[in-house]
Structure 1
Amino acid sequence: MSEELRRGGVPGGAETAGTPPGTEPQPAATPRAVGIVWGLLVLNTLGSAGAKTLVPLPRSLIQMVTMGALAGAFALALVLNLRLRVRAGALVFLLTLLLVPSVLSSLHLESGFGALFRCVRLALFVGTLWLLTRWWDGGLTFVRHHVRTYFAVLGSVAAGAVVSPGTAMPELYGGRLVGALWPLTPPQIGQYAAVISGLTVLLVLGRRTDKAGAAVVLVPSLVLLALTHTRTATLGLLIGLTPAIGSLVLTSAAARRFFAWAALVAAVAAVGFASALRAWFLRGQSQEHLTSLTGRAKVWDALLAAPRTTSEKVFGVGLGDKSFGGLPIDNSWLAVYHEQGWSGVALVAAVFLVLGGVALLRPPSLPRACAIFLISYCAIASYTEAGLGDASPYLLHLAVAASLLAAPATATPLPASAVPRRQLPRRTQERR
């Protein structure tokens, strides 16, 4: 959407030269209810398994809430887009194709009837994204929805930590921060904190928010990230911001200053706080335990060594709970291979290749930088976290990136009946 249209002015050019005021094309505004739809999608992806909460919540109740949120998101999106105006995009198209191996493998019921239920959930999730593509215009609307919604989630985490510190930092998780009001694990909290911190930094550098408002989001988010001791989220934040800010260096003095200060702070921290940073990073674990990725490598080796039929290699065993042998897989690529086979892996890889390629071809801009950060973060986290093959926060991150990389929406001409008579050309008034 051009800057002139956002301001409500008349865009330049021969096609609009001399257009009477009030008759110029108007862009379709994004309804506020779209933010509610996005919040319901986030609620659906929070999950139902995690730490013990201050008030015990039955898993069946949590699942009812999360699935109700998805159904509500789809219904509300449908109401907002009754004419089914959608914009074709690589992400939603590839996710739609991902439904094919998911359904074909789940029909064998190797993962039980729950696999078919997860297919329905994924279909509703992708269908809701299709309905929302109408408002994907390359702007920052969905970035703001993303930050606000996850900041609200982190607010519940902070409230739980204040009300019951013992429940929020249990010994079962090694004293790491968990959700005391909603069953959230440390990696989940770390992911949410890292993503909205990175986006907020970019919004500040792009002068789309003031420093005081950014501090309200950044300070508590970084504190919660530190309390989770989540290495993946921390590395994802730091590494993801590097190419994102780097893409702004040539066009933004603020980005250049930030890069310089960040390099200085990193050098001082590496020299003066090396032992403290190492202790935080190890989390009391041995070097051997860290080398094996806290036991993940054993599950990965067992999964790859397990015998599979040709059908299972191509289409997987069906959507499950992202575990193998009762243990979490904690790797998006292996989880997709296990549940959706090589076809699923190819489609997920295509998502990154297409989004990454489009981001590299775009001229430097704040939306492009935000998209690069989200794509980079998801790529980094995919090594130790699962979720790219099913409805998850990672797919929502990539959906925001896709909305940022979408071409500006074309303006919708106003109908003649909506224009006051005095603003119509003389000949039109005579005919009427």
Structure 2
Amino acid sequence: MGADRTSKLVGTAWGLLVLNTLGSAGAQTLVPLPRSLIQMVTMGALAAAFTLALVANPRLRVRPSVFLLLLSLLLVPSVIASATLESGWGALFRCGRLALFVATLWLLSRWWDGGPGFVRHHVRMYFAVLGTVAAGALLSPGAAFPDLYGGRLVGALWPLTPPQIGQYAAVVVGLTVLLLLGRQADRRSAAVIIVPSLVLLALTHTRTATFGLLIGLVLAIGSLVLTSAAARRFFVWTVVCAGVAAVGFGSALQAWFLRGQSQEHFTSLTGRAKVWDALLAAPRTTFEHLFGMGLGDKSFGGLPIDNSWLAVYHEQGVTGVTLVAAMVLVLGGAALLRPPSLARACAIFLISYCAIASYTEAGLGDASPYLLHLAVAASLLAAPAPTRDRPALQAPEADPRGGVPPRARGTEVS
């Protein structure tokens, strides 16, 4: 199979995985879409992604990955708890979905070589999703800024909530900024992506995504400061601009940050703390404590949990929490041990963003965008494949100083 065709198959499969994780619940769309139809599309996308990955990798060659091993082990408590049917037959269906999701990642791991290929696939697909959000806002501002969400931007063509849009925009902006600093993108192309994505992020009024973007970029760029003059300049200008904005637009930033909420509503994290307290206070058997209640819709008492760790504890128990924590720690440790590079910076951004967002968003224990973010980080931290075994998707990047390509120097594994 030709390299170009294989590259297209891999990129398409990744895009379908992104489509699968968009979800089927959210705002009312301009053209009403039955939830059953949306679920058919998302599940069909997952089946198609697995099929394309299998076509691209018919010999089932995979790259060893501690991240994928731990993610596969997460299926064990999921299936054990779901088999009790305490959460209904839907729990077993979700287990099947997670198994197919993980199997697809294993097949695609053949092309995890520390290069920026999957970063580009990630940015392109999520920017395309943001394009549908922008189109919906232009076609029907009333549907895109409904009173139900306090006038925050939602998906008018596909049911996306403000936190989802904020997450996608933040990840797209962060990765594009890093690609620009690493000279993997030109300024014009980067501006076309960054500027509208920042506008959409601001219109969602999503605090978690904004904090994740800022802190993630500080950590990622900080890892490049000692080796990149461009990173140093960007860091200095960012600090200066942030100071000017804080002085000149302090009141406007405060109003955006509070979103018109009372102090009590804000300190309770928009009501999340009450759900968390109730979940932790609920009685559980030893089995439920160890393995959870089975995969569900990440809610408790009819209200969203909105915390990855508590959602995993509720559905997959202490065993699931341990495995998810191990995934994040393994990736974080691999990133810290890797020499400074663009791949390391992108991985640090994605890992730190997921860690920050996990406090107010659920998703680390099931097929979700957060697991895709971590999978991209794992692809960036993977050891380069030996030349004789490397799939010919793209040529190795040349070192501007000459000699061995930058990503051929490390031996870190995820």
TM-score (norm 2): 0.93
**Aligned match for 2:278, one of 287, 299, 302:** 302
The answer (yes or no) to whether the contact 1:356–1:375 under 8 Å persists in 2 is: yes
Give the residue type in structure 2 aligned to 1:223.
V
**Aligned match for 1:35, one of 3, 11, 16:** 11
Look up the SS of the partner of 1:261 in the other structure: helix
Give the residue type in structure 1 aligned to 2:321.
V
- 5 Å-filtered alignment, 1:362-381, equals 362-381=338-357
Partners in 1 of 2:102 and 2:73 — Cα distance? 10
Tell me, which stretches of 5 or more residues in structure 2 are unaligned?
391-414
Partners in 2 of 1:36 and 1:139 — Cα distance? 18
Partners in 1 of 2:64 and 2:232 — Cα distance? 36
Look up the SS of the partner of 1:215 in the other structure: helix
Partners in 2 of 1:220 and 1:168 — Cα distance? 16
The answer (yes or no) to whether the contact 2:114–2:343 under 8 Å persists in 1 is: yes
For the pair 1:184 / 2:138, whether they are aligned, the reply is no
Using a 3 Å threshold, how does the CA distance of structure 1 residues 62 and 398 change in structure 2: closer, same or farther? same
Look up the SS of the partner of 1:285 in the other structure: coil
Q: What residue is the counterpart of 1:219 in the other structure? A: 195
Give the residue type in structure 2 aligned to 1:388.
L
For the pair 1:335 / 2:311, whether they are aligned, the reply is yes
**Aligned match for 2:223, one of 223, 247, 252:** 247
**Aligned match for 1:86, one of 41, 47, 62:** 62
- Percent identity over the alignment is 81
For the pair 1:142 / 2:118, whether they are aligned, the reply is yes
Partners in 2 of 1:82 and 1:268 — Cα distance? 55
Q: What residue is the counterpart of 1:268 in the other structure? A: 244
For the pair 1:204 / 2:176, whether they are aligned, the reply is no
Partners in 1 of 2:343 and 2:311 — Cα distance? 30
- 5 Å-filtered alignment, 1:123-134, equals 123-134=99-110
How far did residue 30 of structure 1 move? 5.5
Deviations 1:326-362 (CA, angstroms, capped at 9, x unpaired): 0000000000000000000000000111000000000
Using a 3 Å threshold, how does the CA distance of structure 1 residues 187 and 413 change in structure 2: closer, same or farther? closer
Q: What residue is the counterpart of 2:42 in the other structure? A: 66
Using a 3 Å threshold, how does the CA distance of structure 1 residues 375 and 413 change in structure 2: closer, same or farther? closer
Look up the SS of the partner of 1:303 in the other structure: helix
**Aligned match for 1:231, one of 204, 207, 214:** 207
Q: What residue is the counterpart of 1:320 in the other structure? A: 296
How far did residue 31 of structure 1 move? 2.1
Q: What residue is the counterpart of 2:401 in the other structure? A: none
The answer (yes or no) to whether the contact 1:30–1:135 under 8 Å persists in 2 is: no
For the pair 1:101 / 2:77, whether they are aligned, the reply is yes
- 5 Å-filtered alignment, 1:46-65, equals 46-65=22-41
Using a 3 Å threshold, how does the CA distance of structure 1 residues 29 and 367 change in structure 2: closer, same or farther? farther
Give the residue type in structure 1 aligned to 2:65.
G
How far did residue 28 of structure 1 move? 11
Partners in 2 of 1:29 and 1:341 — Cα distance? 42
The answer (yes or no) to whether the contact 1:28–1:411 under 8 Å persists in 2 is: no
**Aligned match for 1:152, one of 106, 114, 128:** 128
Using a 3 Å threshold, how does the CA distance of structure 1 residues 28 and 60 change in structure 2: closer, same or farther? closer
How far did residue 200 of structure 1 move? 0.4
Partners in 2 of 1:230 and 1:30 — Cα distance? 37
Partners in 2 of 1:320 and 1:354 — Cα distance? 26
**Cα-Cα RMSD:** 1.2
The answer (yes or no) to whether the contact 2:6–2:56 under 8 Å persists in 1 is: no
Which of these two proteins has the greater Rg computed from alpha carbons? 1
Tell me, which stretches of 5 or more residues in structure 1 are unaligned?
1-26, 415-432
Partners in 2 of 1:238 and 1:201 — Cα distance? 12
For the pair 1:282 / 2:258, whether they are aligned, the reply is yes
Deviations 1:249-282 (CA, angstroms, capped at 9, x unpaired): 0000000001100110111111111111000000
- 5 Å-filtered alignment, 1:106-117, equals 106-117=82-93
Partners in 2 of 1:29 and 1:174 — Cα distance? 46
**Aligned match for 2:337, one of 361, 364, 368:** 361
Look up the SS of the partner of 2:344 in the other structure: helix
Partners in 1 of 2:148 and 2:79 — Cα distance? 37
Give the residue type in structure 2 aligned to 1:396.
L
Q: What residue is the counterpart of 1:23 in the other structure? A: none
Q: What residue is the counterpart of 1:193 in the other structure? A: 169
How far did residue 91 of structure 1 move? 1.2
Partners in 2 of 1:210 and 1:31 — Cα distance? 22
Using a 3 Å threshold, how does the CA distance of structure 1 residues 270 and 158 change in structure 2: closer, same or farther? same
How far did residue 383 of structure 1 move? 0.1
Using a 3 Å threshold, how does the CA distance of structure 1 residues 314 and 276 change in structure 2: closer, same or farther? same
Deviations 1:289-308 (CA, angstroms, capped at 9, x unpaired): 10000000000000000000
Using a 3 Å threshold, how does the CA distance of structure 1 residues 411 and 269 change in structure 2: closer, same or farther? same
Look up the SS of the partner of 1:48 in the other structure: coil
How far did residue 48 of structure 1 move? 0.2
Give the residue type in structure 1 aligned to 2:194.
L
How far did residue 412 of structure 1 move? 2.2
Partners in 1 of 2:315 and 2:202 — Cα distance? 33
The answer (yes or no) to whether the contact 1:28–1:412 under 8 Å persists in 2 is: no
The answer (yes or no) to whether the contact 1:122–1:391 under 8 Å persists in 2 is: yes
Displacement over 3 Å in runs of 4+ = 27-30
TM-score (norm 1): 0.89
Deviations 1:211-264 (CA, angstroms, capped at 9, x unpaired): 000000001000000000000000000000011000000000000001100110
